Amino acid sequence: MAKTRIRTRLLAAAATLPLLAGVAACGSSGDGGSSDGGSAEVTFWGWAPGYEEAVAQFNATHTDARVKFEKIVPGSKGGYAKVFAAVKAGNAPCLAQVGYESLPSFVVEGAVQDVSGEAGQYQSQYGDAAWSSVKVGGQVYGIPVDMGPMALYYRTDLYAQYGLKPQATWEEFAADAAKVRAANPKGYLSVFNPDDPWWFAGMSAQAGGSWFGTDAKGWKVSLASDPGTAKVAKYWQGLIDKGEVKSEQGFSPDLYKDLQDGTLAAYPGPVWFSSVLEQNAAQASGKWAVAPMPQWQDGTKSVGNDGGSSTAVVKGCKNTAAALKFANWMSTDAAAVGTLVDKAGIYPASTSGTSAPALAKPSAYFGNQPIFDVFKQATAQAPKWSWGPTMTQTSSDLTDAFGAAVAAHGDLTAALGTVQNKTVDAMKAKGLTVTAG
């Protein structure tokens, strides 16, 4: 599909843009199936833990299709660029792991194909929020795999030491941040990671924020003017200015050390962060627990998403039936879902997946708490959220702007203005009609 046609449809179908927060060579090289009527061959590009094992399970139980998994680096670290290059070269896979936040970018770049008709038979197996996550401009481009509901990870030993309990509101969280600093000059309640834009998006969504939207005239970008986002930026700015939270790079050795040695007592994070903790703060096993996210107003129930991926159908896929059959199987089969829960700490997007036995297991790392009970409640509390068509650049600009602001004791709100301007320019450069709103 030509880019101009894609852009026209995006602008004309504003109301059906994705609401929020891996694959195979059925590409133009002709991997649609065997010439002798044998099983169809599908190549799957992805990077998440557990995907390769799930593919092996599929191949062991199916004879009508065979999936070849090829591991690539995570999308933001070059995986997406590899897919784009393969599409241009005519040797792309049939399926690829694509984060929900990046799917609109794939559509604008013409790197995925509309499978609305063939995928429709699977829609009833997913909730509205999950299915909306694989739609752009009213068209479906793949199958949902997981959602990224957020919760509060906290150290039970440190909360007991400081006389705290899981905070019900962000106001309580700020008060306790000051309490921890007063009690222990080397300790902090929590941390702000300036290089994690997806975390900030999830926090903004919880506060009722919205960064992108469309109407009959085109796209609207509101990172700098959205009240919910401004509330989140002002809140964390206040904690940073007072030295009541620590600022450091996300997913870094320094962060993992602080999560393990007791420097940090809490971390608001997504469901899949549970596996990150287990792998990188092993010595803190039995000390962490999970509680619902603090709310902006006592009594409300709103939780943003941080992450979540689709198994997207790449442009040029000839055997979409086999590709979609596998993609849906990986998201709904009890054994496959169990593998992804165990290996990657996902929360399933399919309705059947939410009843997977793996989700009910107590976690030894989290003091034998069945932590997915918390995330199940959180999944139902996610507000509507729409991603923009240039999220790769927007996220990079947000990382740079927030990093500079924190390093220079600057202003996160002003950084949002910088990012908004760059995002508008980037969208215009792709021929999109866009205004700052």
Rounded Cα gap, residues 266 and 51, in angstroms = 30
pLDDT in tens, 274-318: 989 999 999 999 999 999 999 999 999 999 999 999 999 999 999
Specify which residues 291 forms β-bridges with.
152
Rounded Cα gap, residues 299 and 372, in angstroms = 22
Q: Spell out the long-range contacts of 429-433 with Cβ–Cβ below 8 A and sequence spacing 24 or more.
A: 430/3, 430/7, 430/108, 430/389, 430/390, 431/3, 431/4, 431/7, 432/7, 432/10, 432/11, 432/108, 432/218, 432/219, 432/389, 433/11, 433/217, 433/218, 433/219
Question: Residue 168 burial (CB < 10 Å; 0-12/13-18/19+)?
Answer: middle
pLDDT in the model for residue 344: 86
Please report which confidence band the pLDDT of residue 23 belongs to, taking 50, 70 and 90 as the band edges.
Answer: very low
Q: Which CATH architecture has domain 150-304+386-436?
A: 3-Layer(aba) Sandwich (3.40)
More confident residue, 32 or 322: 322
- Percentage of the chain surpassing pLDDT 70? 91
Rounded Cα gap, residues 310 and 307, in angstroms = 10
Q: Which amino acid is at 26?
A: C
For helices 227-241 and 197-206, angle between their N-to-C axes, nearest 10 degrees:
120
pLDDT in tens, 289-301: 999 999 999 999 9
pLDDT in tens, 166-220: 999 999 999 999 999 999 999 999 999 999 999 999 999 999 999 998 888 899 9
pLDDT in tens, 425-436: 999 999 999 999
Q: Would you say 275 and 49 are in contact if contact means Cβ atoms under 8 Å apart?
A: yes
pLDDT in tens, 333-379: 999 999 999 888 899 999 999 999 989 999 999 999 999 999 999 98
CA pseudo-torsion sign 145, 149, 155, 160: negative
pLDDT in the model for residue 384: 81
- CA angle centred on 19, ends 18 and 22, rounded to 5°: 55
The CATH T-level fold of domain 3-148+307-355 is D-Maltodextrin-Binding Protein; domain 2 (3.40.190)
Same topology, domains 3-148+307-355 and 150-304+386-436? Answer is yes
Whether this model's pTM surpasses 0.75 = yes
pLDDT at 330 over 60: yes
Largest CA distance in the chain: 74
More confident residue, 25 or 248: 248
pLDDT in the model for residue 8: 34
Q: Where are the domains of the chain?
A: 3-148+307-355, 150-304+386-436
**What mean pLDDT, rounded, does the chain reach?**
90
